[in-house]
Amino acid sequence: MMSPKDLCTLNILDQIADAGVRVLKIEGRGRAPEYVANVIKTYREAINAIAQGTYSQEKMALWMTELEKVYNRGFWNGYYLGQKLGEWSNGPGSQATQKKLYVGIGTHYYPKPGIGEFKIEAYDIQVGDTLLVTGPTTGAKELLLEELMVED
């Protein structure tokens, strides 16, 4: 019997490294680009902290907060360290702390001035909103909307 929760070894990553593990495989098939970007960034920071001797519970709490922002079904560390069988999810669907709404589609990007042109198809956006831009060449980029021009 397996758990429907997402496997997360962030809180025991130092022990995994101490055991001699030098390669980690992070699964991302079938996940959104922002999920993959967030998880890889978070694990990279944790691995660097272990190498630099700065891995701590305080940093762990910040990293877990970051992981909780993307789609998740709750976390557990699998059967590592003698975990008991039977970890179950707290509810159906995602337990992400940050919800995402589809707003529109990018139609053009002007690299020199760093300006994007978008066709807004749903919901209103305003200065100060955090936007997530995804695409085949973009990957997943999160940005703060600093300026907005509307063309009728």
For residue range 28-60, list pLDDT tens digits in order.
Answer: 778 888 888 899 999 999 999 999 999 999 999
Asked whether residue 135 is domain-assigned, the answer is yes
The torsion defined by the Cα of 45, 48, 50 and 53, in degrees rounded to 10, comes to -110
This prediction's pTM: 0.57
Average pLDDT, the chain: 83
**For residue 63, how far is the Cα from the chain centroid?**
10
Domain enclosing residue 13, as ranges: 6-82
Count of structural domains, the chain: 2
Do 39 and 69 share a domain, yes or no? Answer: yes
For the record, the structure tokens of 5 come out as 């929760």
For residue 34, report the phi and psi dihedrals to the nearest 5 degrees: -70, -30
